[in-house]
């Protein structure tokens, strides 16, 4: 059981090694890309938490982990965990999921981690997308996981990475953290497929609204 492995081998807090890694990456991000986080104070300091973000690039799990001051665990396909890279993936907070076993195994692992008060990172879109498309329905599993675990969902929007010319014009890589969303007060989203889709859609809209709000602030 993944939660059991993590419970024994890794503190839910940040180890000194991870803190050093995180500070180094944040510093590099600030120097190279103007990495800036808005709303980090909204992150619950403890307890189960689902962190839901948009997904533009492969580096998003690292960027979100740098923006959110919690030790986050991310699902990743087990094929990535090949020696010697498996140690790196475990270190940055990824855990293997066997897609051959289907969604049930991923759901069980997620609920085990949240029951152990971990922060779980999820991309509701399921794959990388450049922008929000209301025609593309998000994966509804996030609503089921939240409802069954009673864990709040924290929306996070990761902006675009500026190129060198944009940096010269003071463009920045900005990350926006929203207010926690509580879904367990909705009508049985863990059992009603339509309700799950509605909740997942709302979460995705909240994520992209953070990015739209930043653009409005720039124009005002």
Instruction: Quote the pLDDT of residue 136.
Output: 64
Give the domain 2-219 fold: Glycerol-3-phosphate (1)-acyltransferase (3.40.1130)
Mean pLDDT, the chain, rounded, equals 82
Distance CA 120, CA 113 (A): 7
Distance CA 76, CA 68 (A): 19
Mean pLDDT score, 27-54: 95
Listed ranges 104-108, 124-128, 181-185, 200-204; the one with the highest mean pLDDT: 200-204
Considering only residues 150 and 189, tell me which one the structure prediction assigns the higher pLDDT: 150
pLDDT per residue over 159-193, tens digit each? 999 999 999 999 999 999 999 998 765 445 455 77
Mean pLDDT score, 205-211: 92
Q: 129 pLDDT exceeds 80?
A: no
Q: 49 pLDDT exceeds 60?
A: yes
Q: 214 pLDDT exceeds 70?
A: no
pLDDT per residue over 60-109, tens digit each? 989 999 999 999 998 877 777 777 777 877 888 887 777 666 667 778 88
Q: 219 pLDDT exceeds 70?
A: no
Instruction: Quote the pLDDT of residue 220.
Output: 37
Domain layout of the chain by residue ranges: 2-219
Instruction: Quote the pLDDT of residue 79.
Output: 77
Distance CA 155, CA 153 (A): 6
Predicted TM-score (pTM) of the model is 0.83
> pLDDT above 70 covers what percent of the chain?
79
């Amino acid at each position: 059981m993944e939660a059991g492995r993590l419970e024994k081998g890794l503190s839910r807090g940040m180890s000194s090694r991870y803190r050093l890694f995180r500070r180094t990456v944040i510093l590099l991000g600030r120097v190279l890309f103007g990495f800036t986080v808005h709303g980090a104070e909204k992150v619950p300091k403890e307890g189960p938490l689902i962190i839901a973000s948009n997904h533009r690039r492969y580096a998003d799990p690292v960027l979100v982990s740098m923006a959110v001051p919690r030790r986050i665990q991310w699902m990743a396909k087990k094929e990535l965990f090949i020696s010697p890279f498996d140690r790196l993936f475990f270190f940055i907070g990824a855990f293997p999921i066997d897609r051959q076993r289907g969604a049930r195994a991923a759901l069980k692992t997620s609920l085990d981690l949240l029951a152990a008060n971990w922060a779980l990172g999820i991309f509701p879109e399921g794959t990388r997308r450049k922008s929000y498309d209301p025609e593309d329905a998000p994966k509804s599993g996030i609503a089921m996981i939240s409802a069954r675990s009673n864990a709040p969902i924290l929306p996070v929007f990761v902006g675009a990475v500026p190129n060198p010319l944009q940096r010269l014009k003071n463009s920045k890589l900005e990350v926006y953290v929203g207010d926690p969303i509580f879904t367990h007060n909705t009508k049985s989203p863990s059992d009603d497929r339509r309700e799950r889709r509605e909740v997942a859609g709302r979460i995705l809209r909240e994520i992209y609204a953070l990015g739209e709000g930043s653009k409005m602030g720039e124009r005002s």
